[in-house]
Structure formats: C-alpha cells, structure tokens
Amino acid sequence: QQSTRIAPSILSADFARLGEEVRAVDTAGADYIHIDVMDGHFVPNITIGPAVVSALRPHSAKIFDVHLMISPVDPFIADFAKAGADIITVHPEAGAHTHRTIQLIKSLGKKAGLSLNPATPVEAVDYLMDDLDLILVMSVNPGFGGQGFIRSQLDKIRELRRRIDASGRQIDLEVDGGINFETAGAAIEAGADVLVAGTATFAGGQDAYAGNIRRLRGA
C-alpha cells in the first residue's frame, strides 16, 4: 500500500485569500486539493461554484478533488469538469440515477467518486465498483467543517477496504470529516489511504501547514 495521501479541505481556508491558501497547502505537501461544493439544499450550507474552481485552477497543479454536495447534481457535472476538476465525487442521494451520473463523469474524462453519508450503507457501491476511482466515507454529516469524527464509520472503512482489495481495482478509499492527529491513525488503520482534513490542516497559520500535513500523514 502506498503512503497515506492528504487532501486539505479548503473549506477551512481563508476565503478572502483562497488562491494564496491553495498555493500554501500545495507547497506544504498536499496530495489533493479537496474542494467542498454545497448548495444550501442537499446540505445546510452554501460554499463555492464552478467559477471559483476555475479561478483556483492556475494556483496549483495538484489533483483537484471536487466533492459535490448538491442536488440535483447532473446539471452541474460538465461545469465542474470544465472548471478543472480531476476527481468528481457525488452522493447517491443527490440524484435518482447514480449509475448514469457516474457514467457522465467518466464520459467527460474525469475520475469518478461516490460519497457515503454516515447512515448510507456500504451496499450503495454495489454494481458501481467497476466504474469508481474513489470511495469517500463521510465521518461527519456533510455541511460543515470542524465537527467530531463519527467512530461507527471505522467499520464501514474496514468493509470497503475488503471490497476494494477483492476487486483488484485501483480505487482510493478517502475519509472526510473530523480528521485530526488522533482520528487519522484510526482511519488509516481501518484501511483509508486518502485523508481529507480541513480544520487540522489549516490550524496555526500558513507556517504550520507543512507540519500539520506531515503529522497527519504519519499518524
């Protein structure tokens, strides 16, 4: 297994200086840039849209990991692909036809992710494994940074690790929500290989980002 990759969630960045913040976590060793897109309908918060993703694209060559918490999601997939997303992750509850949504992402030449809310069962990935490049386990209910890690999700991570290994396919197993220096270790031990971290990455100002990322990776 390759070493743990870290995906800072820019939800915890200074939104007034977003380009600079993305450059800072890039330089600090981020593997992916995790971009949380919220619509005030699928989740109770509103963040950013394709125009901001597009504006950030020149600031980093790292993988843009775009987490869509919007419903309906299909009408906006092409916009995020065009804006510079590399991975587009959707929730099965965000549309009636998840298989079609995944195919749409693939047809645009992007990697496709499926995100499971805390109460969404592992079976949501059934019949989709052949097309997924990433599975995202939400260890908080989506909507806000800074929430506490829901430990029951560790069993889900373990079960998904088994399924991914059995599939023989290269699928990222990413965990999102409440990742700190303590919970990172538990998530890695359960089988996660990509950790999203907002609060923990962006704590302490730009000089602290590299140390924060190194500590998360080594947790």
Binding-site sequence positions for a divalent metal cation: 34, 36, 67, 176
- The reply on whether position 174 binds Zn ion by CB under 5 A is no
Picked from ligand DX5, Zn ion, none, the partner binding residue 111 (CB below 5 to 8 A depending on kind) is none
Picked from ligand DX5, Zn ion, none, the partner binding residue 197 (CB below 5 to 8 A depending on kind) is ligand DX5
- The reply on whether position 36 binds Zn ion by CB under 5 A is yes
Give the residue with the Cβ less far from ligand DX5, 118 or 143.
143
Picked from ligand DX5, Zn ion, none, the partner binding residue 145 (CB below 5 to 8 A depending on kind) is ligand DX5
109 in Cβ contact with 102 (< 8 Å):
no
- Shortest Å, Cβ 43 to ligand DX5: 6
What DSSP string runs through 162-185?
A: HHHHHHTS--EEEEESS--TTHHH
- In the region spanning residues 73 to 102, those forming contacts with Zn ion, defined by CB under 5 A, are none
- The reply on whether position 176 binds Zn ion by CB under 5 A is yes
Helix (H) or strand (E) holding 67: strand 63-69
From candidates 10, 31, 35, 67, binder to Zn ion by CB under 5 A: 67
Which span (47-55, 87-95, 154-162, 192-200) binds ligand DX5, by CB under 6 A? Answer: 192-200
Give CA–CA dist 216/219, Å, rounded.
Answer: 5
CA quadruple 120, 200, 217, 15: dihedral, nearest 10: 90
CA quadruple 95, 99, 101, 105: dihedral, nearest 10: 160
Single-letter amino acid code for the residue at 27: T
Place of tokens 């195919």: 103
- In the region spanning residues 77 to 136, those forming contacts with ligand DX5, defined by CB under 6 A, are none
From candidates 111, 142, 183, 194, binder to ligand DX5 by CB under 6 A: 142
Give CA–CA dist 29/112, Å, rounded.
Answer: 23
Our answer to whether residue 36 is catalytic in this structure is yes
Torsional class of 216: left (φ above 0), alpha (ψ -120 to 50), beta (otherwise): alpha
Q: What tokens were used for 150?
A: 């829901």
Q: Which residues pair with 34 in a beta bridge?
A: 9, 65
Binding mask 147-176 for ligand DX5 (x = CB under 6 A): x----------------------------x
Our answer to whether residue 176 is catalytic in this structure is yes
Footprint of ligand DX5 (CB under 6 A): 9, 11-12, 34, 36, 67, 140, 142-143, 145-147, 176-179, 196-200
Which residues belong to the active site? 36, 176
